[in-house]
Amino acid sequence: MCGIVGYVGAKDCSEVLVNALTKLEYRGYDSAGIAVFDDGEIRTVKTKGKLDDLRQKLKEVGKPSGHVGIGHTRWATHGEPSDINSHPHSGARVTIVHNGIIENYIELKEFLISKGRVFLSETDTEVVAQLLDYEYDGKPLETIDRVMAELKGSFALGIMFKDFPDRVFAVRRESPLIVGVAEGECFIASDVPAILQYTRDYYLLEHDEIATLTKDGVSFVDERLQPIEKELKTADWDMEAAEKGGYPHFMIKEIHEQPEAIRTTILPRIKDGLPCLDECGITLEELKEFKNITIVACGTAMHAGMVGKYVIEDLARVPVNVDIASEFRYRNPIVGRDDLVIIISQSGETADSLAALRLAKSKGATTLAIVNAKGSSIAREADMLIYTLAGPEIAVASTKAYITQLSVMYLFAFELALAKETLSVAECKRLISALQKMPDAVQYVIENCEEKCKYIATKLVSAESLLYIGRGLDYALSMEGSLKLKEVSYIHSESYAAGELKHGTISLINDEMPVISVATQTDVIPKTISNIVEVKSRGAEIILVCTDACARGLKDGIADYVVEIPHSEELLMPITAVVPLQILAYYTAINRGNDPDKPRNLAKSVTVE
């Protein structure tokens, strides 16, 4: 994810900006740059690559000398990693750095082109820079305010106007931004670690607030340009804690980042209320031709594929086979010219998934990669590519990558169903609108269920074995819940199709085997409840994750603990229902004294067979 920094003070600005950017490296990036007022002019130096490449370039061209500037590490979303697409971006009188996604940048770009503006890069950021320049009337705050009213999407911006060489402006909507303050200097940054080496005092910029930074201090206005007072915060974290944004572990931080991760992943792929995967090389004409789909992946990514199967088959009526990559690659699988093989991978480097991709290609199938890591082997070798835009996932246990894989599966299923004409445009628009609400729904679940899950986790601490049950999408989802729990808590668990229990597995049930049941799909809830009653009557303690609607219909005493999540579009329920399962796994691991970020015997990227 991109990182923003800015500085106004007495120090060597280039030095401060590069130092601060170093502390944001953990967010992941593919290019970097700075812009500094040097003798009244804004001088920009930027390059594809790492901060060492930027340092080298600064040496070659001479670093800008001055005390006011902005800097950026870019994690490409619009346009490939390149010198030209790197930030900062400029209009004639404005230079900016940007984190986030401008949803309506195509319309804005067309408008600006019609006014004679010429663009150098493929980025949405340059559109904002040009728009600021177009609107500029000598009054920075008014200009920023007008431009903000025109922008849709998420953004944090650091802005410099040529006419104001003593100040930096900052604004945000959705994407985070802080303003650090110290004696005679001010900073902006995407995250606290960037400024900790200079100050611990900072303000959190809220939605649509604008900050003006000078060496004498910072002032804030709201979207009506009314001055506001803000509470000064003091970071009491060490550097490592700060990189975790104050969370004790990356796993829980990444769980909390999920609303933003979904938003970032889906926003650029929705145009006029419909899915649009053109930029990924996918066209409706091509999609129409596929007769079968095989999804191949490992672990969590394979579980995202399981949800994908239910959704694609339901909406697009195309048969979907989900395969474990290490099985697929050694089985002489039946795939060929009429087939689409989808490889899902966070790292894009998983050895079995990569081998499966190569095998599918060699058999003539078309391949589509759904990958998080930019430029990874799977991303490079697949015929078509959709990036999940989850940002770097550091905890070994995958959370935000899974939820963005689900988000992409939905977009893909909608697009395929449109191509196959099994879904009307009106119905698709309704589903897309429901998908756009999921970031807020996930946020709601995090805010309202974390305490409950934390409490329930205290009850699981001494369990030796657990069962997850569900039907349909709830079963597909339970697979991920079960994997999450076992990998971080080291408690054995299995996920079972609830209706299959009585064919053998129910013999395991006694009062020492808690059962976690997921019930979000109205048509099968009565059946799942019957299965819950069956295991309850054999002594199992029941933890039920269900919709508020389902909870209202429950008879007292059926479940020992109920985690209610808001009812939304049923097909999309896995996106919200997975969250309590992730949180439950996290706190169970904590209660057992495990480090959830580094579970024993596991590696983040499995590049060996």
Q: Which is nearer to ligand F6R, 413 or 483 (CB)?
A: 483
593 phi-psi bin (left φ>0, alpha ψ -120 to 50, beta other): left
CB of 483 to ligand F6R, least distance (A): 6
Rank residues 397 and 431 by Cβ distance to ligand F6R and give the closer one: 397
Comparing every residue's Cβ against ligand F6R, the nearest one is 299
User: Measured from the CB of residue 329, what is the shortest distance to ligand F6R in angstroms?
Assistant: 13
Written as six digits, the tokens of 45 are 């130096």
Query: Does residue 604 carry a catalytic annotation?
Result: yes
| Tally of residues, the chain | 609
480-489: b (≥16 Cβ within 10 Å) or e? bbbbbbbbbb
Residue 368 makes CB contacts below 8 A (sequence gap 6+) with 282, 340, 341, 342, 343, 382, 383, 384, 385, 386, 412
Question: Angle CA(191)–CA(197)–CA(198) in degrees, nearest 5?
Answer: 95
60, two tokens: 């070659």
What DSSP assignment string belongs to 241-256?
Answer: HHHTTT-SSHHHHHHH
Give the nearest distance from C-beta 306 to ligand F6R in angstroms. Answer: 12
Q: Name the minimum Å distance from CB 599 to ligand F6R.
A: 9
In terms of Cα–Cα distance, which of 491, 464, 469, 446 is closest to 585?
491
What are the residues binding ligand F6R (CB under 6 A)? 298-301, 345-347, 350, 353, 397-398, 483, 487, 605-606
Task: For 116-174, give the secondary structure using H, E and C.
Answer: CCCCCCCCHHHHHHHHHHHHCCCCHHHHHHHHHHHCCEEEEEEEEECCCCCCEEEEEEC
Identity of the residue, 214 or 594, whose beta carbon is nearer to ligand F6R in the bound complex: 594
Query: Which of 543, 567, 563, 589 shows the shortest CA–CA distance to 449?
Result: 563
- Spatial separation of the C-alpha atoms in residues 552 and 573, rounded to whole Å: 17
Cα–Cα distance measured from residue 364 to residue 376, given in angstroms and rounded to the nearest whole number: 22
Distance between CA atoms of residues 535 and 498, nearest Å: 10
Q: In what order do the strands lie in the sheet with 233-234?
A: 41-48, 31-38, 68-74, 3-8, 185-189, 178-182, 201-204, 233-234
Per annotation, catalytic residue among 2, 13, 186, 449? 2
Query: What minimum distance in Å lies between the beta carbon of 600 and ligand F6R?
Result: 14
Nearer to ligand F6R among residue 155 and residue 402 (C-beta): 402
**CB-count exposure of residue 130 (10 Å: 0-12, 13-18, 19+):** buried
C-beta of 251 vs 315, nearer to ligand F6R: 251
Question: Is 63 tagged catalytic?
Answer: no
Minimum distance from residue 190 beta carbon to ligand F6R (Å): 25
CA separation for the pair 343, 345 (Å, rounded)? 7
Amino acid type, 183: E
Q: Dihedral of CA 574/575/579/585: which sign?
A: positive
Q: Considering the complex, what minimum distance in angstroms separates the CB of residue 407 from ligand F6R?
A: 15
* Amino acid identity, position 505: T
**Least distance (Å) from ligand F6R to the CB of residue 377?**
11
Tokens of 107: 């319309």
Considering the complex, state which of residue 513 and residue 584 has its C-beta at the smaller distance from ligand F6R: 584
Listing DSSP states for 540-608 in one string gives --EEEEEEHHHHHTPPTTS-SEEEEE----GGGHHHHHHHHHHHHHHHHHHHTT--TTS-TT--SS---
Nearer to ligand F6R, 301 or 385 (CB): 301
Which residues sit opposite 179 in a β-bridge?
A: 188, 203
- Contact status, residue 78 vs residue 26, Cβ threshold 8 Å: no
Instruction: For ligand F6R, give the closer residue by CB, 156 or 298.
Output: 298
How far apart are the C-alpha atoms of 331 and 487, rounded to whole Å?
A: 27
- Minimum CB separation of residue 300 from ligand F6R in Å reads 3
Structure tokens at 327: 């099985």
Nearer to ligand F6R, 145 or 597 (CB): 597
Q: Which of 50, 363, 454, 604 is catalytic?
A: 604
Which of 394/461 has CB closer to ligand F6R? 394
Closest approach of ligand F6R to the CB of residue 348, in Å: 7
The residues assigned a catalytic role are: 2, 604
